[in-house]
Structure 1
Amino acid sequence: MNTNTQVLVTGGTGFIAQHCIIALLDAGFRVRTTVRSLTREGEVREHLRTGGVDAGDRLTFVRADLSSDLGWADAAKGCTYVIHGASPTPTGEKANDDEWIRPAVDGNLRVLRAARAAGAKRVVLTSAFGAIGAGHKAAHRRPFDETDWTDLGGNVWGYQKSKTLAERAAWDFIAREGQGMELAAVNPVAVLGPVLGADFSHSIRIIKNMLEGQPACPKVNSGFVDVRDVADLHLRAMLDPAAAGERFVATAGDSLWMAEVAKVLRERVGPIAARTPRRVMPNWLVRLAARRNPALKGILPLLGQDMNVSGAKARRVLGWQPRSQGDAIVATAESLVRLGLVQVP
């Protein structure tokens, strides 16, 4: 019954977006996706085939960039639903906050305006746990849930600020200018699961680095969820009347320390995990290393912090049943090995 329903998925080169496309095609929808360069169409189609789907003419591509209005009217035309996961990422290790925030906020508003003009019924926004759990004092209630928003007055990384302000801008737009269009938001924790190709997310690098012999684990805590379940939650948020106007955390269970993730790998994937770290790196050493490696600065506010968040709402309201975190960790490792994307014994 979905064969005549068109769905726009923004940012078709993205990890979550590609799994959303797979889930939509499996459910019978027709899909249009945006890419910044049409030269990447072949790569996206190959990734989808790795995920078990030959999209054929049920998937079409439009060139559109979040920094420009060009292409968005064509992308949204005729689409009943929009899944908006595209998010600009600044280049360079020392991007300032404005390089994160302005493109994310403007990009969200650009997509929402195009969806409204096209008569879309609902937009599902891929937000992040970074819009919920950052910047809070240690005494803040745990676990976090959908009623929480990142405290921008706290110690917050530019990426988390961008996710927070971009999601708030989206809700404000719907309230003031939505003209009846609906919005739902999905806020995933660290997303793992089957990799489809060499272009994968930061969260996947956690597993890759461990398998390749990272010497120790920082004392960092995070929830985890399988990307296939994140895609499933997007579809539920797209279709269920109860999802309109709601946020949904995507997490598969209580948060884990990185040392616990390494232990899962050693216990469940066998010899390929022989080099996973067994030691925890002292916080002072992480801070020292961050002086030389700016890429580590983003984790400094997270050291020793309990980042547990509840996924009960998605289960209760939408009937969502994700895989376990252990299964997501194992699926990530096995896909990296299968595709030759990790150097293991």
Structure 2
Amino acid sequence: MERVLVTGGTGFVAGWCIAGLLDRGYAVRTTVRDGRSPAQPPVETVRADLTSDDGWDAAVADCAYVLHVASPLGLDGRADAGALISPARDGALRVLRAATRSGVRRVVMTSSTAATTPADSRGVADETVWTDPADPNLTPYRRSKLLAERAAWDYAAANGLELTTVLPAAVFGPVRSPANAGSVEVIARLLTGRPPLLPRFGFTIVDVRDLADLHIRAMTDPAAAGERFIGAGEFRWLAEIAATLRTHLGGAARKVPTRPVPDGLVRALARVVPPLRTLTPLLGRDLTFTSAKAQRVLGFTPRPVAETILDCARSLPG
């Protein structure tokens, strides 16, 4: 039985990757930052942190593959650049070095569409695009994902490591645990009536279950070696997401807002409301990320976005 290491095992995406691997008959090991969040049998747990070298050789030992999913999020806008960039970039390099020493066949690293965003805020972006690191609108989170992926590709090229990167759009879908739900917080906030007005934000959405499947496909398919793959489905404005919730959830969506808010007011509020700061660059941005390459090469099949939104909402604690 082949063993796979999934980093950050308590996270939203990692949890679904682990479930998918177990369903396919793999032995799974995962990392946690402390001893307070152990994985459940048959998943083996190793303590390792992206900010330290300790534990990584033990984590990758006897593993055929590594899914490096762990990365700091900082979605509330309060984390500074140092708190995000160093763990993301240096942590990725720690994982890759340990994988090289252990002779791992391939590392699949979770990047982000934040690393493949063109300066033009409209149109369609694919894997050939690289975000400009000099873009003044880059938040610390987006910069951390870009620099981490760049560093990973440089390391892989210099050390002969087989690497594939997966670049998710906004990840929604059912949560397995209320902790570390990441971007699902967008849905949770809408259901509680926050924000009370709807900013003109839009997202290309990917279902976490489809994203986990894409990671596993990228892990073993020979055609995936040395490639970037965007994991994405359909684009939706926040107002359209809210409308889907109201249309299908009845009383459970009674607090979901209905009225828009002017762009100027959003920018003003972002100065004093940290969660808005990471999203302000998205204001009015009509940019779609395409997963055509993943669909063509790996058979990736994103499900309808309404299913993702509703399954996400129904999985959240009431």
Q: For this structure pair, what is the TM-score category when the shorter chain's length is used for normalisation? A: over 0.9
The 5 A counterparts of 1:13-24 are 13-24=10-21
Contact 2:85/2:148, CA 8 A, preserved across alignment: yes
Q: Which residue of 2 aligns with 1:137?
A: 120
| Partner in structure 2 of residue 153 of structure 1 | 134
Question: 3-state DSSP class of the match of 2:287?
Answer: coil
| 1:143 counterpart SS class | strand
**CA 1:153–1:93 in structure 2 vs 1: closer, same or farther (change >3 Å)?**
closer
Secondary structure of the corresponding residue to residue 286 of structure 1: helix
Displacement of 1:92 in angstroms is 8.4
Partner of 1:249: 230
**1:332 pairs with 2:312:** yes
Q: Which position in structure 2 is the counterpart of 1:175?
A: 157
Is the partner of 2:286 in helix, strand or coil? coil
SS of corresponding position for 2:131? coil
CA contact (8 A) 2:175 2:181 kept: no
Contact 1:105 1:169 in 2 (8 A): yes
CA RMSD between the two structures: 1.6
Give 1:1-345 correspondences, 5 Å limit.
4-41=1-38, 44-45=39-40, 56-57=41-42, 59-89=43-73, 94-133=78-117, 136-138=119-121, 142-154=123-135, 155-177=137-159, 179=160, 181-214=161-194, 215-253=196-234, 255-336=235-316, 341-342=317-318
TM-score norm. by structure 2 comes to 0.95
Cα pair distance change 1:90/1:294, threshold 3 Å: closer
Tell me if structure 1 keeps the 8 A contact 2:174–2:312. yes
Q: Structure 2 CA distance, aligned partners of 1:35 and 1:300?
A: 32
The CA deviation at 1:137 is: 3.2
**Counterpart-to-counterpart distance in 2, 1:317 and 1:202:** 28
Counterpart residue number, 1:52:
none
Q: Which whole-Å CA distance do the structure 2 matches of 1:156 and 1:216 have between them?
A: 25
User: Is there any run of 5+ residues in structure 1 with no aligned partner, and where?
Assistant: 46-55
What is the SS of the residue equivalent to 1:292? coil
1:38 Cα deviation (Å)? 2.0
Shift of 1:90: 6.0
Distance 1:187 1:245, change over 3 A: same
Q: Does the CA contact (< 8 Å) of 1:9 and 1:33 recur in 2? A: yes
Q: Tell which deviates more after alignment, 121-130 or 211-220.
A: 211-220
2:16 touches 2:212 (CA, 8 Å); kept in 1? Answer: yes
Q: 2:185 is paired with a residue of what secondary structure?
A: helix
Aligned equivalents of 1:170 and 1:290: distance in 2? 33
CA shift, 1:268, in A, is 2.0
Distance 1:93 1:146 in 2: 26
What is the CA-CA distance between 1:91 and the residue it aligns to? 10
Cα distance in 2 for partners of 1:94, 1:322 equals 32
Residue type of the alignment partner of 1:294: P
How much has 1:170 moved relative to structure 2? 0.4
Residues in 2 aligned to 1:68 and 1:91: alpha-carbon distance in whole angstroms: 23
Q: 8 Å contact 2:187–2:312 — kept in the other structure?
A: yes
Amino-acid identity (%): 47
What is the number of residues matched between the two proteins? Answer: 316
CA shift, 1:301, in A, is: 1.3
**Counterpart amino acid of 2:148?**
A
Q: 1:66, 1:88 within 8 Å by CA — same for their partners in 2?
A: no
CA distance in 2, matches of 1:159, 1:171: 19
Q: What TM-score, normalized to structure 1?
A: 0.88
Question: In the alignment, residue 325 of structure 1 is paired with which amino acid?
Answer: V
